[in-house]
Amino acid sequence: MTHNHLRSLLFRQLFENVSSTYTYVLACTASKEAIIIDPVLETVDRDSKLINELGVKLLYALNTHVHADHVTGTGELKKHFPLMKTVLANKANAKSDLQVQHGEKIDFGRKSLEVRATPGHTNGCLTYVLHEDRMAFTGDALLIRGCGRTDFQQGNARTLYRSVHQQILSLPPDYSLFPAHDYSGLTCTSVEEERNFNPRLTKTEDEFIDLMKNLNLPYPKHMEYSVPANMVCGIYDLMDEKTRKTVEQSLEEHN
C-alpha cells in the first residue's frame, strides 16, 4: 500500500502587485505544518487569512534575502502567528529568529527544504530547494529569463554568475523554479528553460559581468527604508524611529 497522501504538498503562489513580489505558502498535508517564503508587509492580512482558512500551522517565515524594494511581512506575521519564527541567512548579518547557512535543512512536517547559499545579488541570498517536489525558490538570484541586479547592497556579478550556475542551474532539468519577482506576468520556470533561454545566464562569465555593469536601472523607490526595515525582519520595535515612521506612513497610504 502506498502512502502518497501522507507526503503531498499544499502549495500556493501569491502576488503583491506594487513590488511585483511572489510569496509562497507551502504545507505538509499530513502534519499541516507550513512555511511562508518572502511575505510582503502590505499583504499580511490576506496571507494570514489564507493560512487560517487552509487550517495549517505556520512554523517559519523565510526571507530569501534582505529585500531592497519592499518591506517584508515577516514582522507583522509574528503578530498573527506568535510561535512562527523569522528566518534569514547568517551571511545577511541581520536580526532574525533563526539564521541559516548553506547545507542546512528546514523541516515542516514530512517536508524538508535544503538551504543553498546563492550570493551575488546580496551576500545573504538563499535558494531553498524542495527536492522531493522538484522545486526551488530562488529569491532574486535567478528571475525568469533574468536575474537580480548587482549594483547595490553587496552585489557582485561574478559571484552571482557562479552561484546561479553552481547551485541552481546544476539542479536536474525538470526542477521548477520560483523567483521572488516577475515584472512581465510569468509565474514560474524550470532549470531546463533557464539553461536554454535565460538571456543573461547563457552568456559567458565575462560577457555577463559586462552586461550587468550596463543595466542602468533606477534604484528601487523604497530602498532607503526597506533595507533597514528588512535588516530586522520588519519588526517595528527593532527599527530606528525614522524607519518605523516611514514604514507606518507608507502602510497607511496603502490602506
Ligand X SMILES: N[C@@H](CCC(=O)N[C@@H](CSS)C(=O)NCC(=O)O)C(=O)O
Number of residues that bind ligand X (CB under 6 A): 12
State the minimum distance, in angstroms, from the CB of residue 220 to ligand X: 3
C-alpha cell at 104: 542546512
Q: How far is the CB of 40 from Fe ion (least distance, A)?
A: 12
Q: Which is nearer to Fe ion, 70 or 85 (CB)?
A: 70
Least distance in angstroms from the C-beta of 55 to ligand X: 32
Partner whose footprint covers residue 220, from ligand X, Fe ion, none (CB < 5 to 8 Å by kind): ligand X
Full 3-state SS string of 185-209 = CCCCEEHHHHHHHCCCCCCCHHHHH
Q: Which is nearer to ligand X, 53 or 253 (CB)?
A: 253
Q: Does 42 bind Fe ion (CB under 5 A)?
A: no
140 binds Fe ion (CB under 5 A): yes
Report the residue number, 140 or 194, with the smaller CB distance to Fe ion: 140
Residue 96, amino acid: S
> Of the candidates 38, 34, 40, 26, which has an alpha carbon nearest to the alpha carbon of residue 76?
40
**Can you tell me which of 73, 124, 148, 179 binds ligand X, judged by CB under 6 A?**
148
Structural contact between residues 146 and 43, judged by C-beta atoms closer than 8 angstroms: no
List 38, 140, 182, 194, residue binding ligand X (CB under 6 A): 140
Instruction: Check: CB of residue 50 under 8 Å from CB of residue 12.
Output: yes
Q: Cell numbers for 200, please give them.
A: 543573461
**CB of 67: closest distance to ligand X in angstroms?**
6
Nearest residue to 32 (alpha-carbon basis) of 14, 13, 5, 3: 5
- The answer to the question of residue 33 lying near Fe ion (CB under 5 A) is no
Q: From the list 85, 91, 111, 149, which residue makes contact with ligand X (rule: CB under 6 A)?
A: 149
In the list 68, 87, 136, 168, the residue contacting ligand X (rule: CB under 6 A) is: 68
Q: Given the complex with Fe ion, which of 21 and 48 has the nearer CB atom?
A: 21
Output 33 or 140, the one with its CB closest to Fe ion.
140
Could you tell me the CA-to-CA distances from 24 to 35, 70, 123, 135, 220 in Å, in that order? 8, 16, 22, 12, 22
Sign of CA dihedral 217, 222, 228, 229: negative
Residues in 179-238 that interact with ligand X by CB under 6 A: 181, 217, 220-221
Rounded to whole angstroms, the Cα distance separating 125 from 115 reads 10
Question: How many residues bind to Fe ion according to rule CB under 5 A?
Answer: 1
Among 37, 49, 97, 106, smallest CA distance to 73 is for 37
Residues that bind ligand X (CB under 6 A): 19, 67-69, 140, 146, 148-149, 181, 217, 220-221
